[in-house]
Amino acid sequence: MKLDVFLSPAGLAANEVAGRSVFVIDVLRTTTVICAALHHGARGVVPVSSVAEASRLAQTLGPEDVLLIGERNCEPIEGFALGNSPLEMAAPGVRGKTLVMTTSNGTSALLAAHGAEEVFVAAAANLSLAGARAREILATRRELVILCAGRESQFGLDDAYAAGRLAILALGGRRRKGLNDGALAAVDLARRYGTSWERPLSMSAAGRQLTRLGRGADVADAAREDAYPVLPVLRDRRITLETAA
Amino acid sequence: MKLDVFLSPAGLAANEVAGRSVFVIDVLRTTTVICAALHHGARGVVPVSSVAEASRLAQTLGPEDVLLIGERNCEPIEGFALGNSPLEMAAPGVRGKTLVMTTSNGTSALLAAHGAEEVFVAAAANLSLAGARAREILATRRELVILCAGRESQFGLDDAYAAGRLAILALGGRRRKGLNDGALAAVDLARRYGTSWERPLSMSAAGRQLTRLGRGADVADAAREDAYPVLPVLRDRRITLETAA
């Protein structure tokens, strides 16, 4: 059994994800927003690395079916329909649309999982579903990767805590052989903070920055466990609900 | 007050260390070896990034005053006088020599601290001295960086635990405002594992690899707190005892 948690995509070698099952986590806010969008009826989410690429892709796909969403430095992007708040995803315009998304850290982590056998999107918002699937994968394939987006290529407390919560569900109470150093630490952190998301999220640099910018409601929404109970999966550059595959 | 712990040098931006006081940690084994070497009378240690550079530098400095030391994949390097074991540093040939050193992770972390105002070398082997100096710096400069070497650009449990132990000494029991996410997690891990180095070191991937390779004695030596009570400082590419400056 092999359970690897990578606490940031920086320095991740391609062979560490190639052919494996990967859960990507960016609780504040990218993976929470993806869960919210699909829960509210978006057809799919396409993560891209730059604003320019997002605009080009929207033209290619046809602007009438596409919404541009995302942020830079936690703020909405000029000319984009929506920012990167899970609360915005309840807007009626989201249903039926393909969202082209670019964010500072989260979309990079999703793109860093390129080459994986399968890529799932995880957050507090879909913890139970993601945990059940992670447990199933670990039981059958005997290995699993959890990849944290972190923050500016560095460790993020929010994502590390989430990785620990997901790892604990994946392990299902079994002993801790086969965990890499990141997984051992993530599990330790999850145990240290207990089951409430508020504290690790509000203490994290990402949470503090959002609160400073008046976006504390996003932090509170991202802390609602199983608020958006869907399991998004990334296939061929596009994230959809798993059942839609 | 600002205490930053970077859990790996991957993705570290130059402005995150520029002009600051940095403690570099690679408990298994680079920073332990540096403490051991200086404790046993080496004149200095020069960290370099490649085997070729080490050989060139030895020629330049004059082979009679220089020993080449280091490892690749935990194994000694062909043609080098010594490997990367703290136990080897007790050899009589070390006294009075300049050691030119290249290792897989540790020397990279030391070189990543380029541009810092001052760079100290820390390990279990010099925890009390490093902790006292870190506390003094935090009290006067109101900021401090602890940089973990990690392992292959990723998180290493051994170094994160050490960073937490050092951060706790630097903070001296004060409250935890001004800690970045890495510092919060390192302090949490240090509290979780308590004051014995054996467990985090032997559980870490680096410790397990060394033990598998028959180098368990190095892990045990690196776990001896204050075994080599010196405070090495890096200045102008060369690491010496602080009092020698």
pLDDT tens, B25-73? 999 999 999 999 999 999 999 999 999 999 999 999 988 999 999 999 9
CB A187 within 8 A of CB A168: yes
Between chains, do B155 and A7 touch, taking CB under 8 Å as contact?
Answer: yes
CA nearest B228: which of B93, B103, B127? B127
The tokens of B16 are what? Answer: 């995150």
Beta bridge partners of A238: A235
Taking residues A97-120, report their average pLDDT. Answer: 94
Question: How many Å apart are CA B170 and CA B164, to the nearest integer?
Answer: 10
Taking residues A25-32, report their average pLDDT. Answer: 97
The torsion angles phi and psi of A68, rounded to 5 degrees, stand at: -90, 130
Residue B89 makes CB contacts below 8 A (sequence gap 6+) with B33, B36, B37, B39, B40, B42, B82
Residue A113 in this model has a pLDDT that exceeds 70: yes
Q: Nearest chain B Cα to A203, which residue? A: B181
Across chain B, mean pLDDT equals 95
The tokens of A28 are what? Answer: 């504040």
CA nearest A195: which of A149, A129, A127, A147? A127
Q: What is residue B60's predicted lDDT score, i.e. its pLDDT? A: 93
The tokens of B204 are what? Answer: 């870490």
Q: What is residue B244's predicted lDDT score, i.e. its pLDDT? A: 43
Q: Which of A2, A181, A199 to mutate to test the interface with B (most CBs of B within 10 A)?
A: A181
The tokens of A133 are what? Answer: 């699937």
Q: What is residue A174's predicted lDDT score, i.e. its pLDDT? A: 75
Q: What is residue A11's predicted lDDT score, i.e. its pLDDT? A: 85
Between chains, do A152 and B11 touch, taking CB under 8 Å as contact?
Answer: yes
Question: How many Å apart are CA B178 and CA B184, to the nearest integer?
Answer: 10
Q: What is residue A152's predicted lDDT score, i.e. its pLDDT? A: 85
Q: Which of A151, A157, A181 sits opposite B185 (nearest CB)?
A: A157
Q: What is residue A244's predicted lDDT score, i.e. its pLDDT? A: 43
The tokens of A43 are what? Answer: 């057809």
Q: How far is B222 from chain A (nearest CA, A)?
A: 18
SS3 state of residue A199: helix
Q: What is the pTM for the complete model shown? A: 0.95
- Per-residue pLDDT band for B177 (boundaries 50, 70, 90) equals confident
SS3 state of residue A155: coil
Q: How many CB pairs under 8 A join A and B?
A: 83
CA nearest B190: which of B222, B167, B164? B164
Using a CB–CB cutoff of 8 Å, tell me whether B186 touches chain A.
Answer: no
For residue range A75-87, list pLDDT tens digits in order: 999 999 999 999 9
Across chain A, mean pLDDT equals 95
Q: Output the furthest CA–CA distance in chain A (Å, rounded).
A: 51
The tokens of B107 are what? Answer: 């020397």
Between chains, do A7 and B205 touch, taking CB under 8 Å as contact?
Answer: no
Question: How many Å apart are CA A208 and CA A190, to the nearest integer?
Answer: 19
Q: Which of A34-43, B110-119, B176-185 has the highest mean pLDDT?
A: A34-43
Taking residues B77-101, report their average pLDDT. Answer: 96
Q: What is residue B93's predicted lDDT score, i.e. its pLDDT? A: 94
- Per-residue pLDDT band for B243 (boundaries 50, 70, 90) equals low
Q: Which of B158, B180, B185 sits opposite A189 (nearest CB)?
A: B185
Taking residues A200-221, report their average pLDDT. Answer: 97
For residue range A143-178, list pLDDT tens digits in order: 999 999 998 889 999 999 999 999 999 999 877 789
For residue range B131-151, list pLDDT tens digits in order: 999 999 999 999 999 999 998
SS3 state of residue B22: strand
CA nearest B101: which of B64, B57, B151, B60? B57
Taking residues A33-62, report their average pLDDT. Answer: 96
CB A163 within 8 A of CB A25: yes
Q: CA geometry: angle at A226 spanning A222 and A227, to 5°? A: 60
Q: What is residue A243's predicted lDDT score, i.e. its pLDDT? A: 65
Using a CB–CB cutoff of 8 Å, tell me whether B28 touches chain A.
Answer: no
Residue A60 makes CB contacts below 8 A (sequence gap 6+) with none
Residues of B in contact with A155 (CB under 8 A): 6-7, 155, 181-182, 185
In chain B, which among 119-158 make CB contacts under 8 A with chain A?
A: 151-158
Using a CB–CB cutoff of 8 Å, tell me whether A179 touches chain B.
Answer: no
Residue A196 in this model has a pLDDT that exceeds 90: yes
Q: Which of A13, A191, A205 sits opposite B181 (nearest CB)?
A: A205
Q: How far is B107 from chain A (nearest CA, A)?
A: 16
Using a CB–CB cutoff of 8 Å, tell me whether B207 touches chain A.
Answer: no
Between chains, do B157 and A185 touch, taking CB under 8 Å as contact?
Answer: yes
Instruction: Work out the percent of chain A whose per-residue pLDDT is above 70.
Output: 99
